[in-house]
C-alpha cells in the first residue's frame, strides 16, 4: 500500500515544485482552462491516494483519469467559451465535490489508523 500511496504524492510534490520554480505565466484568456485542468488533476491525485488507501489503486485507471478528466474539462471550457456560457462551472462543481469527498475519506482514514 505504501508504494502505491507514494506515486500520487510524488506526482503532486513534483508538480507543485515545478509550478513554484519555473517562471511560466498563463495568458488571462486561458486562465479558466488552467483552473479547470488543475482542479481535474488534483481530483485525480486525491482519488489515487484514496484508492491506494482502499487497496484498489490501478496505475492505468489513475493515468487515464488524470489526463481524461483534464481533457474533458478543457473541452467543456472551450465549448462554453464558444457558446458564451460558463459551462466550466459544472466541471468546477463536479471536481470540487469529489476532491473534498476524497480528502474527507483520506482524513478519516489517517485519524482512524492513528487511534488504533
Query: Residues 113, 107, 101, CA angle at the centre, nearest 5°?
Result: 135
Tens digits of residue pLDDT in 37-82: 888 888 988 898 899 888 898 889 989 988 888 888 888 889 988 9
**Cβ contact 42:48 at 8 Å:** no
| Domain boundaries defined on the chain | 2-115
pLDDT at 15 over 80: yes
Other residues' Cβ atoms within 10 Å of the Cβ of residue 19: 10
Q: Output the pLDDT for position 60.
A: 92
What is the overall mean pLDDT for the chain? Answer: 85
3-state secondary structure of 68: helix
Amino acid at each position: 500500500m505504501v508504494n502505491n500511496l507514494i506515486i500520487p504524492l510524488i506526482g503532486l510534490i513534483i508538480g507543485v515544485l515545478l509550478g513554484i520554480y519555473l517562471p511560466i505565466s498563463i495568458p488571462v484568456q486561458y486562465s479558466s482552462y488552467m483552473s479547470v485542468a488543475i482542479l481535474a488533476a488534483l481530483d485525480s491525485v486525491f482519488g489515487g491516494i484514496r484508492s491506494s488507501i482502499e487497496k484498489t489503486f490501478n496505475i492505468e485507471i489513475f493515468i487515464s483519469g488524470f489526463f481524461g478528466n483534464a481533457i474533458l474539462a478543457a473541452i467543456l471550457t472551450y465549448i462554453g467559451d464558444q457558446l458564451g456560457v460558463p459551462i466550466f462551472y459544472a466541471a468546477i462543481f463536479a471536481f470540487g465535490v469529489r476532491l473534498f469527498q476524497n480528502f474527507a475519506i483520506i482524513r478519516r482514514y489517517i485519524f482512524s489508523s492513528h487511534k488504533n
